[in-house]
Amino acid sequence: MENKKEKEEMSERMPKEEISDASKKSALSESYDEVKWEKLQKSPASAMDKGKEMGVPQEELDRFAQDVIARETENKDYGFVYRFRKGMKIGTEEEIRAVGEKAYQFLFENGNFGTAMRIAEDMYGKDSEEWKRANEANKAEQKKTEEKGKRKEERMEDEEQELEVSISKDATFADLFNAIDAIEEDEEFHFDEELWDNFDSEVVEEILAFQDTQASKAATTKVVDFFKERGYSQSDVSAFLPIKFKRERKSK
């Protein structure tokens, strides 16, 4: 009777244990938010630690790490591969160091001296020849970039200065329009916009009429006299419009 009772108890326990094992496996597979984990993978550097915190299985973390290393190695982002492997402690010290050496050499040869410096400091220290070499190259590159920037600024300043209309103090509006046409052959010169931005509409319309209905008057109306009659001095004209008046030569 006792044996029969034990057998019955065992038969009752077996399904429960199997159910328990199944529920544990189910809980393991559902113990982390897969959608959230997928989003985290967009930032590999932080995904590993956050994945561990949220319960991602080690097998999945290892697979993800190897995919990242393979992808970035193919992209030749050796600096990232070195930092990633070192930070996550993926591989032996010798393997990680070999990756770092490859990253340093690749970055230096491709002119990425700043990143090469950081890797050299991490691997060899600031007293190393590798760091000093990258540091000197980085300084030279920065100096070259600064000089290039200065030349570009000077070129832009020269271009801005060239976009002034240079006319004599006795120039007529016909002379002014001819000078503007000469510039507009090569450059965009928005003279009309400057007029509208700085003068009353009546003044602007009078000037624009010299190009159209009163074109004959443009040859006899002096620019300085026109503005003077309307309350604007020669210096006002130069201040409000891209017009530079030539200096008169002094007679000997």
The four Cα atoms 150, 155, 158, 160 give a dihedral, to 10 degrees, of -100
Q: What is the pLDDT of residue 248?
A: 61
Q: What is the pLDDT of residue 155?
A: 64
Q: What is the pLDDT of residue 107?
A: 94
d(CA 50, CA 63): 15
Q: What is the pLDDT of residue 231?
A: 87
Cα atoms found within 13 Å of the Cα of residue 27, Cβ hemisphere only: 6
Q: What is the pLDDT of residue 25?
A: 43
Q: Which tokens hold the place of 141? A: 């590159």
Single-letter amino acid code for the residue at 118:
R
Give the angle subtended at the CA of 43 by the CAs of 71 and 64, to the nearest 5°: 50
pTM: 0.48
Single-letter amino acid code for the residue at 59:
E
pLDDT in tens, the chain (252 residues): 555 454 455 445 444 444 344 444 444 445 788 899 899 888 887 888 888 888 999 999 999 999 999 999 999 999 999 999 998 899 899 999 999 999 999 999 999 999 999 999 999 999 999 999 999 999 998 888 888 777 767 665 555 555 677 888 899 988 888 888 877 665 666 778 888 888 888 888 888 888 876 778 888 999 999 999 888 888 888 888 878 887 765 554
Q: Where are the domains of the chain?
A: 33-142, 160-245
Q: How many residues does the chain have?
A: 252
Cα atoms found within 13 Å of the Cα of residue 73, Cβ hemisphere only: 12
Determine contact, residues 198/180, Cβ cutoff 8 Å.
no
User: Sign of torsion, CA 73 79 83 89?
Assistant: positive
d(CA 147, CA 215): 49
User: What backbone torsions phi and psi does residue 172 show, to the nearest 5 degrees?
Assistant: -90, 175
Question: What is the SS3 assignment for 112?
Answer: coil
Question: What is the SS3 assignment for 222?
Answer: strand
Q: What is the pLDDT of residue 31?
A: 77
| Contacting residues for 162 by C-beta, under 8 A, at least 6 apart | 187
Determine contact, residues 102/85, Cβ cutoff 8 Å.
no
> Which residues are bridge partners to 245 per DSSP?
167
Q: What is the pLDDT of residue 24?
A: 43
Rg (CA), the chain: 39
Q: What is the pLDDT of residue 163?
A: 63
Q: What is the pLDDT of residue 28?
A: 46
Q: What is the pLDDT of residue 63?
A: 93
